[in-house]
């Protein structure tokens, strides 16, 4: 009887089955197209990135020693000068003779300047002795390179301070010995305080200028360091000796350096958005191996610097775009398993702009969904976009 009923209603049953199949096909959930990434192993670095500028390690600003008429400066940027070489001449304007009070003040200032010169000389001699000991320890491998570079920097700074104090002594002596006070129409030579290259000519044309007017800067463009002003809370995470990766400097590849100094004071700086920030200068030194790349840089070139705080050569990492916060505030991802999105909790270590270090929850080679939308749920059928 059942067979006869099937035969009688076979066309109706066939139509019903076709309708049911069509409805099932129409309402069957489509696969959601998603962007995907892969859990992989590889190098990973965490650091602080900011822009900075290069500068000569030692540079000097030559200023007018007196108020008077400046002869035209014939030197140009890039010209080599030696210590004591004549830069230009000035003719001091006549001034009123010194009164007794001014003369006493100048003599007292001269005594103080000579004392400062003696202290600077003693500090330089001590720094030079420390450098000799540091070089001996470094040759035997008992001293880090960063401390050796710091000792060399102290010697260079000591020489600069000594030159400055000597210049102050000569300036005061000139005020006391020149007839009629400073100037009085006597030609005053302006000489180079150190050997190097002319980095910039600030005042080139002849004319009357005031004492202290900047004329030019002199330095060694082959001895380059970088200055990066970090926000103070970021500078506190940086230490002397940290690795620094220099990028966006105008050439191919990356220049490596080391932090040689974190200045112990901050300065208020207004950002482009008008936000007040406390900025701290961090000084970056370079090894001799970087000489070829550094030869293409000069004083005042802009660079990007990344201070490496942590790095690993074989970290298990997941793309940062796959991460989202769960309802309890923990990190989660959607992994693809059998064509479906599977929500998983993960435990992370270090994070940077591209990857997060995976400690638990994912294995190498697994596929994860990038930038999951709010409509994506656990168990939804998905397909990778091509």
What H or E segment, with its residue span, contains residue 204? none
Write the DSSP string, 320-341: GGG-EE-TTS-EEEEEEETTEE
What is the mean predicted confidence (pLDDT) over 20-33?
64
* pLDDT at site 4: 64
* pLDDT at site 281: 95
Closest alpha carbon to 369 in 331, 327, 318: 318
Residue 10 has pLDDT above 70, yes or no: no
Can you list the positions of beta strands (E) in 155-223?
A: 187-191, 196-201, 207-209, 214-219
Task: Express each pLDDT in 153-173 by its tens digit.
Answer: 888 888 888 888 888 888 888
* pLDDT at site 322: 93
Calpha distance 50→182 (Å, rounded): 47
Q: Do 47-54+224-312 and 59-92+187-219 show the same overall fold?
A: no
What is the mean predicted confidence (pLDDT) over 213-219?
91
- Model confidence at 342, pLDDT cuts 50, 70, 90, reads very high
* pLDDT at site 226: 94
Which range has the worst mean pLDDT, 36-50, 121-135, 171-185, 275-289? 171-185
Closest alpha carbon to 32 in 378, 324, 365: 378
pTM for the full model?
0.59
Which range has the worst mean pLDDT, 99-103, 122-126, 205-209, 247-251? 99-103
- Model confidence at 180, pLDDT cuts 50, 70, 90, reads very low
CB 60 within 8 A of CB 194: yes
Structure tokens at 308: 């490496």
Write the DSSP string, 262-319: E-S--EEEE-TTS-EEEEEEEEEEE-GGGHHHHTT--TT-EEEEEEEEEEEEEEEEEE
Task: Express each pLDDT in 62-121 by its tens digit.
Answer: 999 888 889 999 999 889 999 899 999 998 766 566 667 777 888 888 888 888 888 888
Chain CA centroid to CA 150, Å: 18
* pLDDT at site 21: 64
If one compares 26 and 189, the residue with the highest pLDDT of the two is 189
Calpha distance 12→19 (Å, rounded): 11
CATH T-level assignment (fold) for domain 32-42+313-384: 2.40.420
Q: At the fourth CATH level, which superfamily is domain 47-54+224-312?
A: Efflux pump adaptor protein, beta barrel domain (2.40.30.170)
CB 304 within 8 A of CB 251: no
Task: Express each pLDDT in 278-309 by its tens digit.
Answer: 999 999 999 877 877 888 888 889 999 999 99
Closest alpha carbon to 85 in 194, 241, 243, 5: 194
Closest alpha carbon to 159 in 134, 195, 191: 195
* pLDDT at site 12: 67
Calpha distance 258→241 (Å, rounded): 5
Structure tokens at 89: 């001449």
Calpha distance 31→27 (Å, rounded): 12
- 94, with CB counted inside 10 A (0-12, 13-18, 19+), is middle
What is the mean predicted confidence (pLDDT) over 318-337?
91
CB 54 within 8 A of CB 301: yes
Q: For all residues of the chain together, what is the average pLDDT?
A: 85
As a CATH number, domain 59-92+187-219 is: 2.40.50.100
Q: Where are the domains positioned within the chain? A: 32-42+313-384, 47-54+224-312, 59-92+187-219, 96-181
């Amino acid at each position: 009887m059942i067979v006869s009923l099937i035969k009688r209603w076979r066309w109706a049953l066939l139509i019903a089955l076709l309708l049911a199949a069509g409805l099932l096909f129409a309402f069957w959930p489509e696969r959601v197209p998603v962007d995907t990434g892969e859990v992989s192993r590889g190098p990973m670095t965490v650091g602080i990135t900011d822009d900075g500028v290069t500068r000569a390690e030692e540079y000097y600003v030559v200023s007018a020693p007196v108020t008077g008429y400046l002869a035209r400066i014939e030197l140009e940027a890039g010209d080599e000068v030696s210590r004591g070489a004549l830069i230009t001449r000035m003719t001091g304007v006549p001034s009123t003779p010194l009164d007794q009070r001014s003369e006493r003040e100048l003599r007292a200032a001269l005594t103080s300047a000579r004392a400062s010169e003696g202290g600077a000389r003693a500090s330089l001699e001590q720094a030079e002795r420390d450098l000799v000991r540091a070089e001996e320890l470094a040759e035997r491998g008992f001293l880090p390179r960063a401390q050796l570079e710091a000792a060399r920097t102290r010697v260079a700074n000591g020489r600069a301070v000594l030159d400055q104090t000597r210049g102050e002594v000569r300036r005061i002596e000139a005020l006391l010995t020149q007839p009629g006070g400073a100037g009085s129409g006597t030609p005053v030579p302006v000489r180079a305080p150190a050997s190097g290259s002319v980095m910039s000519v600030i005042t080139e044309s002849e004319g009357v200028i005031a004492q202290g007017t900047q004329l030019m800067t002199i330095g060694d463009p082959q001895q380059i360091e970088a200055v990066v002003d970090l926000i103070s809370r970021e500078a506190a995470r940086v230490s002397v000796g940290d690795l620094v990766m220099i990028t966006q400097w105008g050439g191919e590849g990356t220049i490596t350096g080391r932090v040689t100094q974190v200045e112990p004071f901050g300065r208020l700086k207004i950002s482009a958005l008008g936000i007040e920030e406390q900025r701290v200068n961090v000084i970056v030194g370079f090894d001799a191996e970087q000489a070829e790349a550094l030869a293409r840089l000069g004083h005042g070139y802009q660079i990007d610097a990344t201070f490496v705080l942590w790095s690993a050569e074989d970290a298990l990492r997941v793309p940062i775009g796959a991460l989202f916060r769960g309802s309890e505030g923990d990190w989660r991802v959607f992994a693809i398993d059998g064509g479906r999105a599977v929500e998983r909790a993960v435990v992370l270590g270090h994070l940077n702009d591209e990857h997060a270090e995976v400690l638990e929850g994912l294995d190498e080679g697994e596929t994860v969904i990038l930038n999951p939308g709010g409509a994506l749920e656990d168990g939804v059928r998905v397909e990778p976009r091509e």
